[in-house]
Amino acid sequence: MNLVTRPETTAAPPGNERRGGEQRLLLHCISWDEYVALGEILKDRPALRMTYDRGNLEFMTTSPEHERLKKRLSRVLEALAEEFGREIATAGNMTFRREDLDRGLEPDDCFWIAHEAQVRTRQDWDPTRDPPPDLILEIEISRSALNRLGIYAALRVPEVWRCDGERFHIHVLQSTGEYQEVEASPTFPGIPVAEIIPFLQENETRGYLGMIRAFHEWVRQHLPKP
């Protein structure tokens, strides 16, 4: 087993200064059974993310900034679903593992929308029975050493939203098995989702619920006409 610690100064997305609080640890030559066993030991630590990719295992501890941004983005997505009249099922940072792919990870949040009815009463996820989430949220206060988008592509997740608090990206899975970055979400057509950043940023004049109310009003202005 090989161990590598990543200095905080190397983990930030290009063009961003590092915002502190997150730490990463990268292990090499980890077997699938070791990964699963470690996941079971650490399963009750909600601020810990594990990413496993064919023998490489990364641990990440999330920062308060990460968690606040995740909460706001998740609530924004729920508001979109409410305005579109869509049902959703969400499982937070549930672990998704595929032994046949030798890969696994926890997203920041996950949503079934098109396939909501299929998982509505599920308490776990079985890849032989259940569809992957229709939409995944990734908060990137710092950047993973592993290719998390590649793992989502292998899991066949149709749509991934990435946000660092200043920039927002939408990735849609193509028939080639790779993601293409797009301007608007196919799940919520007609909404310029990339313009939601101001609703995710904290300020002194508008509280959390005020942000949600303002976002609902903004969405109604952009809803497609009947």
What pTM was estimated for this model as a whole?
A: 0.89
pLDDT at 20: 56
Which is more confident, 213 or 202? 213
For residue 57, give Cα distances in angstroms to 42, 103, 173, 220: 14, 10, 24, 43
pLDDT (mean) for 196-201: 92
Tens of pLDDT, residue by residue over 122-144, are 889 999 999 999 999 999 998 89
Using alpha carbons, select from 178, 122, 180 the residue that is nearest to residue 170: 180
Residue written as token pair 């057509």: 189
Q: At what angle do helices 64-84 and 208-222 cross, to 10 degrees?
A: 40
**What is the arithmetic mean of pLDDT over 196-214?**
91
Given this model, what pLDDT does residue 5 score?
A: 42
Q: Which amino acid belongs to residue 112?
A: W
Cβ atoms 104, 97 nearer than 8 A: yes
Type and span of the H or E element at 99:
none
Report strand pairing: 109-112 vs 135-139: antiparallel
Largest CA distance in the chain: 59
Place of tokens 């303002």: 214
Contact at 8 Å (CB) between 130 and 101? no
3-state secondary structure of 199: helix
Residue 7 pLDDT level (bands cut at 50, 70, 90)? very low
Q: What is the mean pLDDT of residues 95-109?
A: 97
Alpha-carbon span 94 to 73, nearest angstrom: 17
- Between residues 147 and 9, which one has the greater pLDDT? 147
The share of the chain scoring above pLDDT 90, in percent, equals 78
pLDDT tens for 149-164 read: 999 999 999 999 999 9
Place of tokens 């290719």: 147
HSE at residue 29, side-chain half, CA atoms within 13 A, is 4
Choose among 41, 176, 217: nearest CA to 50: 41
What 8-state DSSP symbol labels residue 10? G
Question: How large is the average pLDDT for residues 17-45?
Answer: 87
| Average confidence (pLDDT) over 31-54 | 93
Task: Say if residues 143 and 17 touch (Cβ distance below 8 Å).
Answer: no
Distance CA(56)–CA(66), nearest Å, equals: 23
DSSP 193-220: GGGGHHHHS--SS--HHHHHHHHHHHHH
Nearest alpha-carbon partner for 73 in 160, 190, 173, 153: 160
pLDDT over 90 (residue 2): no
pLDDT for residue 103 is more than 90: yes
Per-residue model confidence (pLDDT) at position 4: 44
Residue 14's pLDDT is 38
Q: Given pLDDT bands bounded at 50, 70 and 90, which one contains residue 22?
A: confident
Task: List domains and CATH numbers for the chain.
Answer: 64-222 (3.90.1570)
Of 15-29, 63-77, 117-131, the one with minimum mean pLDDT is 15-29
Tell whether the model's pLDDT for residue 91 goes beyond 80: yes
